[in-house]
Amino acid sequence: RMDTEQPEAKGFVREASEFIWETLKVVIIALVIILPVRYFLIQPFFVNGTSMVPNFQNKEYVLVDKWTYRLGEPQRGDVIIFKYPNDPSQYFIKRIIGLPGETIEIPGDNTVHIYNSRYPDGFVLNETTYLPASNHTYCTSQTPWCGKKIVLGPDEYFVMGDNREHSSDSRFFGPVNRTEFFSGMAWLRLWPLSRIGFIPRQDYPPVVQ
């Protein structure tokens, strides 16, 4: 009796071993494909808080494009995800307002002034396409990077939340270094389903001098 059951036992062990090996191969292949995508191309991100309301709501799920900035430069109006300079374990989502080499001024009158080589006398940034009229860009004693002209270095960006009255951004912690802290650009909104879609890059109206 033992002799008749032994081949069956060996067959079961062989089939189980083959199943485990095939499963491991699938997992390994998946990791080879997914890990490079996860770390070099796209990254998931959950919006936490209301600093980007009304354009991004709390608990929304977006994908971060990590490749575009390897090929080109960040643009004004891009919504980016970056490490919080004062605590790199945290990630923030904000909008790029000032670019490297520019001078930014937030005088506290609900405007943002930008000075650069093209507009040495400065211009007021038109943000009407993404900021409601009731959303005021304030400047107080608690925002130390307001009320003065801020010169951005070669790799520095001035970022702000769309919900200006409830956003901890460059008005509080200063410019953000791209090389040290940028993760990527908000690219695709996946949740909620009612708002699913690609996140377009921002076009600004022509400057009126």
Q: Which residues are catalytic?
A: 51, 94
User: Under 8 Å CB-to-CB from 15, ≥6 apart: which residues?
Assistant: none
Show the tokens assigned to 84. Answer: 């919080």
**Residue 84: alpha-carbon gap to chain centroid:** 11
Q: Are 160 and 94 contacting, i.e. CB atoms less than 8 angstroms apart?
A: yes
Query: How many C-beta atoms lie closer than 10 Å to residue 33's C-beta?
Result: 10
Looking at residue 62, its amino acid is: V
Q: Residue 183 is encoded by which pair of tokens?
A: 């993760």
Helix (H, G, I), strand (E, B) or coil at 59: coil
- CA 107-175-55 angle, 5° bins: 75
DSSP code, position 205: P
Please give the Cα distance from 154 to 127 (Å, whole number). Answer: 24
How distant, in Å, are the alpha carbons of 1, 88, 122, 124 from that of 209? 99, 40, 9, 9
